[in-house]
Structure 1
Amino acid sequence: MSILKRRPSMTLAQALLVLGLSAAPALAQDTAAPAPQPSGQPAFVPQTVTYASAADAAAAAQKFAEEARSTYPKGSANIDQALWTQAASAAEAAVLAEPDNAGYLKLRAQIYTEVGFWRQAEVGWAAYFKAVPAVPGSREAQQAGQAQYNLGYSAYVRNQPDLAARYFAECLKFDPQSAQCAGWAARTALEGGDYARAQTLYAQAVALTPADKTLAYFRGLAQKAADYGPAATGAFSRAYAELDAGRKDRALEGFQAAARSAPNFAEAWRQAGRLALDMGNAQAALEAYQGAIALPTADATDRFNLALAQEGAQFGLDAVRTFRAAYGRYTAGDKVAAESGFQQATVQNPAYAKAWAWLGRTRYEAKNYAGAAEAYGRAVALDPGDKSSAYYLRLAQQGK
């Protein structure tokens, strides 16, 4: 006779309290200390349901799960969806009735994994693996690793690196072929100053996904991290994560902090400069590329971007970019498009003498002498020392 049959008056919620599976996430044994509920995952409140037997409860859980998969959009599974709530509640009832039944334990863990309820998934897999020892790399172990990975990432974004590192390490125990866990375990090691371990883990991650340029990039960074120190390396890595998440302002601050902490950190200066240019912050870009250009590793790209930042700080990045695009069209032979671009640059910043000068040149070459005289006149007024513009201004005024 099942537990539920013998105790018909006990609600599922009451029974869960007896087992320590209340609405608050339970502690998983033999795993890293659990983190608070990850953001975006409300506490699960099981429905009050009763079933004649554990088998009936398990069958109901499977039925509700199948209905949920066919009802809700693919990839949207969530514990708040009614059918998934019913599936999880029924699975809990099955486990409550027969707590040593491996099939029911796995069913419950799989449901929590599918809906992304990672704290309860961790608890569920821990219970299942007590009944059936984990086989690293098996389908079940991979699902348990998925829960550990998500808990680790949640801890990482809450700035709990030690806890995150433990979760990622647990993930690798379950799923040694998980490139994402190897990569994030490497990142936490890198930020923690354990450069040897970071290099080993990045090598493992790169071997698993050779085409992942980000992993290869950070593998190279780990090899040079000792030259920059943990403060700069940690700030850089965090900034990269902020950039991945789309938080550009915070990412820029992080790259700047890394570069200022270790002025020899060329890639920190470059990342700050590239991001600042992308954000239209010419002054920040100027500071960044001045830092990069001062190092022996400075290259032609650094010099090009420094010039862009310098000119952008004076005339505005939009106008400078428009001018450079127009110049590219001019050198390609499309002088009509170039003229239009140079004119647009003068509209974006009427004080941009060079744009006026090149607008004059395209008009002069098209024998539009009146238009050329107007443009060259503005260029000379803004930059009296521009002898070339003064010369062609006289020619344009003479119509020759």
Structure 2
Amino acid sequence: MKELRVDLGNQRSYPIYIGSGLLQQADLLRRHIRSKQVLVVSNETVAPLYLNQVLANLADYQTEAAILPDGEQYKTLHYLEKIFDGLLANKFSRNATLIALGGGVIGDMGGFAAACYQRGIAFIQIPTTLLAQVDSSVGGKTGVNHALGKNMIGAFYQPQCVIADADVLDTLDDRQLSAGLAEVIKYGLIRDPEFLHWLEANLPNLLARDKAALAYAIERSCINKAEVVGEDEFESGVRATLNLGHTFGHAIETGSGYGHYLHGEAVAIGTCFAADLSRRLGWLLDADVARIIAIFKAANLPVTPPADMTTEQYVDLMAVDKKNVDGKIRVILLEALGKASLPVNIDLAQLQATLNGYAG
């Protein structure tokens, strides 16, 4: 087991545990629980696989479960209430602990519910997808979607710990595995060029679920994420670079209907848009853009934009983004491979040139 730390310099600092067989280590979980009241939030796909193990680790606790439907389309205020129903119906106190057992949707919703219930209860992240293990479970971003914008309702709220058991990836389907690789590739593109080289050489091993390769990719990704979050917890500066491709990607998810594209798939396409725009600004070479497209293709990720989304749709949806200031669309671009920009103001002509010109 590897133990990393998200160092926030105060009581919000916490460990990330990475390894195999961690779900069977009851003491690892129990040491981070404040009281005997525990609500496990999961979904209909993950619960049949791993809920019983988590509950067995807490056999002498008052444990309850809130099981949600599986999918991005259920990441809403309506389904968030089902978590509150579980907390309130069982008279859970403000010393209770919420465990988010699932992928990014469950982690975001569980964390947001924990942030809100009685103005804040403890929660633990047990991510069960690659995307959640390398990205969404680390850093304290929580929230839900709205029909007009993705992740626009939420809070920064840090977990007590993150338990990333690589063994759970054995039950992850190939499409979800590739979606997680989009966020792994992101770290190489924005700040870790050596990791980008490693990924280009090792994508076949990752897709084949080689345990050593996956463990290294998870650890290296979490190190990058923890360093950025430790420097900028509330996204006032460098943390925004973690959103490479996300402004375009969120527009694709919203415009196509939540659930049509997996988050990582939309981010892959969005990063190709960002690379194209970076080239138009003179920051990337044609060869750099080709390299970015090639690595996403090698990871079995889409690089072609939705055929039915118009430029007007993109512009309208991108106008609803947390990085925007005073009505100006701002995106993260690449100054070079391995170096992301801080949010850049983009005028409409520049944006339209990329939206009309990039075809995959």
Q: Normalized against structure 1, the TM-score is what?
A: 0.28
Q: Which structure is larger by alpha-carbon Rg, 1 or 2?
A: 1
Q: Between Structure 1 and Structure 2, which shows a larger proportion of helix residues?
A: 1
Q: Between Structure 1 and Structure 2, which shows a larger proportion of strand residues?
A: 2
